Amino acid sequence: MKNKLFHKHIDLKDNSYFLDYVQLYFKLPIEDLKPLEGFNLEDCKIWLKFTANNISNDISRSNVQGVRVLQDKLHYGIKFYFEGKFFRGINIREDITRLKKYTQKYYNEILHHQYNPNSWEINNKKFLNHLCGIEFPKFFVSRFDIAQNCYKKYYPKGLENNNWDTYCHSGIEKSRNCVDTIFNDRRSQKQTGYTVGNPKYVTCKVYDKMYDKEEFALDHALMRFGTYKFWRREWRIQKKKIKSLKINHIEEFLLLKNTQVQKHVISSIRKTVDIVMANDSTSYNIFHFTHIDRNVWQSLKDDSINLSKRVKLLISGRHAQRKAISDRKVMFWDGVANLVGIANNYRHRWTQQQWIQCVDSLLKEPDRLEFIKDSNSHVDINKVKEFLAHIKYR
Give the bridge partners for 70, in sequence order: 79
Cβ-based neighbours of 8, under 8 Å, separated by 6 or more: 267, 287, 304, 305, 307
Say how many residues make up the chain. 394
d(CA 379, CA 362): 12
Q: Pick the closest to residue 202 from 276, 288, 277, 270 (CA basis).
A: 270
Between 147 and 337, residue with greater pLDDT: 147
**Among the listed ranges 208-217, 219-228, 249-258, which one has the minimum average pLDDT value?**
208-217
Q: Would you state the pLDDT for residue 268?
A: 95
**Residue 362 in this model has a pLDDT that exceeds 80:** no
Overall pTM > 0.95: no
Q: Given this model, what pLDDT does residue 377 score? A: 46
DSSP assignments along 226-283, one per residue? S---EEEEEEEEEHHHHHHTT--BHHHHGGGGSHHHHHHHHHHHHHHEEEEETT--HH
Residue 374 has pLDDT above 60, yes or no: no
pLDDT at 383: 61
Label residues 276-302 b or e (16+ Cβ within 10 Å = b).
bbbbbeebbbbbbeeebeeebbeebee
> What is the rounded CA–CA span in Å between residue 174 and residue 85?
35
Which comes out higher in pLDDT, residue 120 or 8?
8
| pLDDT digit string, tens, across residues 294-328 | 666 666 655 444 444 555 555 555 544 444 444 43
- pLDDT (0 to 100) of residue 132: 80
Give pLDDT, residue 68. 96
- E-only strand ranges, the chain: 18-27, 67-72, 77-82, 140-151, 164-168, 179-184, 191-198, 202-208, 230-238, 273-277
Which pLDDT band, with edges at 50, 70 and 90, does 285 fall under? confident
**Confidence class for position 8, pLDDT limits 50, 70, 90:** confident
Using the predicted structure, report yes or no on whether residue 329 has a pLDDT greater than 50: no
**How do residues 21-45 score in pLDDT, each as one tens digit?**
999 999 999 998 888 888 889 989 9
Which residues, 6+ apart, have CB-to-CB distance to 53 below 8 Å? Answer: 71
CATH topology of domain 18-141: Alpha-Beta Plaits (3.30.70)
Q: Give the phi and the psi of residue 73 in degrees, each rounded to 5.
A: -70, -30
Would you state the pLDDT for residue 326?
44
* Alpha carbon distances (Å) from 35 to 38, 46, 130, 133, 385: 9, 19, 10, 12, 48
Percent of all residues in the chain with a pLDDT value above 90, rounded to a whole number: 53
Q: What is the mean pLDDT of residues 174-193?
A: 89
For residue 341, pLDDT over 90 is answered with no
Confidence of residue 105 (pLDDT cuts 50, 70, 90): very high
- State the pLDDT at residue 125: 78
The predicted structure's pLDDT at residue 343: 66
Sequence ranges of the domains in the chain: 18-141, 146-237+259-321, 335-390
More confident residue, 128 or 228: 228
The answer, yes or no, to whether residue 385 has pLDDT greater than 70, is no
